[in-house]
Amino acid sequence: MLERALYGSQRYFRWVLGLLILIGMGFGAYMIQLNKGLTITGMGRDVSWGFYIAQFTFLVGVAASAVMVVLPYYLHNVKVFGRITILGEFLAIAAVTMCLLFIIVDLGKPMRLLNVLLYPTPNSILFWDMVSLNGYLFLNIFIGWNVLEAERKGVHYPNWVKPLIYISIPWAVSIHTVTAFLYAGLPARHYWLTAIMAARFLASAFCSGPALLILLAYLVKKYTKFDPGQEAIDKLTNIVTYALLISVFFVGLEFFTAFYSQIPGHMHSLVYLFVGLEGHGKLVPFMWLFAILAVAALVLLLNPKTRRNEKTLKLACLFTFLSMWLEKGMGLVIAGFIPNPLEQVREYSPTIPELTIALGVWSTGAFILTILYKIATSVKEEVGEASH
């Protein structure tokens, strides 16, 4: 099936070429990092995780969100999702790959990466994260590929795929739960030390991921002859709406606990994020942008008129995705380190090389997604789902 990625329009090849150039730039920047060390990033001894790990955390959510199409389709027989489960699964593959790449570029000694396998350490959540992410990647590759191939041949997918599909559902929940545990179990990081961290992660994942999926479905509809179907998009929209509401609610809960209890440690990071702490407030504009985008997205999604209008729906999805990216892919990870354990405020901002590497990883994800979607849509066009 892979050969379908080799034939396409000029626009397709221009896009792929553009991505390859960005990947190349990212790779070049990574070579500099490999030579000079992580000093080329904005990270330091106080904010020791930055943009890379923040992207990783956000993308685990995007990957986990595939379950939002797989679960209704396989467990609740929601037929309209049948046409787009493959889009969800392939999105998960691209997202998990980006997650793994973001971990690798964050390592000080990437050549020792396999030490994690050589000396398995069950008491480390990072070990379990590695297990769950890789497992999820393989599950989605196996399932997506086999189901698509069966579809191409016009037969039912092999029986051994079915248990894998059922396993993939709790597995998707597990990848984001384990990722939340990375943070929620650290004794000295007040901002992360919250029992609803995993719930927050899942809620934000289930709005940002499906929001992206809706945007991708519209793109697929525009550029290929395959139509994912309006009904599926409507159902996804409902999911995004509920999940975004829950997400915003959860953020509100954090505010209540911190500010009603008035415990300084619990308030510091939130104060830093939204108004600035001890005169430092680099993230303040971003966090207000998050708040504005989230509210705007909610208004657009809750209003039936704007929800059913394609243009405003796309806007709402874009806002949802961006707001969650700001909250999780920027604020959450960085603010956990501010103030530091000695209650000093040392700020962080990513550097140009760091952003270039991150862009390279995102482009790699986009490249994988493009190739996989090209294959999927070609097969769908071939078997004539396009006419539905």
Partner 1 sequence: MESSRRDLLKLGGACALGLTTLPLVKAHAKSDLPKVMDNPDALKGKRWAMVVDAKKCWEKGKEGCKDCIDACHKIHNVPDIGNVKEEIKWIWNEKFQHVFPGMESPHMAHDYHEKPFMVFCNHCGNAPCVRVCPTQATFKRPDGITMMDFHRCIGCRYCMAGCPYGARSFNFRDPRAFIKTELNMTFPTRERGVVEKCSFCEERLAVGLLPACVEACKHGALVFGDLEDPNSPVRKLLAEHFTIRRKPELGTEPGVYYIV
Give me the residues that bind partner 1 (CB under 8 A), please.
36-39, 41, 43-46, 48-49, 103, 106-110, 112-113, 115-116, 118-119, 121, 123-127, 130, 182, 185-189, 264-265, 336-337, 340-344, 346
User: Other C-beta atoms within 10 Å of 116: how many?
Assistant: 17
For the bound state, the minimum distance from the C-beta of residue 208 to partner 1, rounded and expressed in Å, comes to: 23
Which residue bears the tokens 């984001």? 176
For the bound state, the minimum distance from the C-beta of residue 36 to partner 1, rounded and expressed in Å, comes to: 6
Which residue, 204, 187, 177, 191, is CA-closest to 254?
Answer: 191
**Residue 151 vs residues 68, 85, 385: alpha-carbon distances, Å:** 21, 12, 10
Q: Locate 58 and state its tokens.
A: 């956000």
Nearer to partner 1, 144 or 336 (CB): 336
Cα 4 vs. chain centroid, distance in angstroms?
27
Nearer to partner 1, 38 or 139 (CB): 38
Nearer to partner 1, 89 or 106 (CB): 106
Q: Give the whole-angstrom CA distance, residue 162 versus residue 50.
A: 39
Nearer to partner 1, 78 or 150 (CB): 150
Q: Is 16 helix (H, G, I), strand (E, B) or coil?
A: helix
Nearer to partner 1, 49 or 367 (CB): 49
**H-type alpha helices, 193-351:** 197-223, 230-261, 264-274, 284-302, 304-308, 310-326, 333-335
For the bound state, the minimum distance from the C-beta of residue 220 to partner 1, rounded and expressed in Å, comes to: 29
Q: Give the whole-angstrom CA distance, residue 96 versus residue 64.
A: 9
Nearer to partner 1, 119 or 256 (CB): 119
For the bound state, the minimum distance from the C-beta of residue 149 to partner 1, rounded and expressed in Å, comes to: 11
For the bound state, the minimum distance from the C-beta of residue 201 to partner 1, rounded and expressed in Å, comes to: 16
Contacting residues for 387 by C-beta, under 8 A, at least 6 apart: none
For the bound state, the minimum distance from the C-beta of residue 338 to partner 1, rounded and expressed in Å, comes to: 12
To the nearest 10 degrees (0 to 180), the angle between helices 230-261 and 67-75 is: 120
Residues present in the chain in total: 388
Q: Give the whole-angstrom CA distance, residue 304 versus residue 123.
A: 48
Nearer to partner 1, 328 or 380 (CB): 328
For the bound state, the minimum distance from the C-beta of residue 350 to partner 1, rounded and expressed in Å, comes to: 13
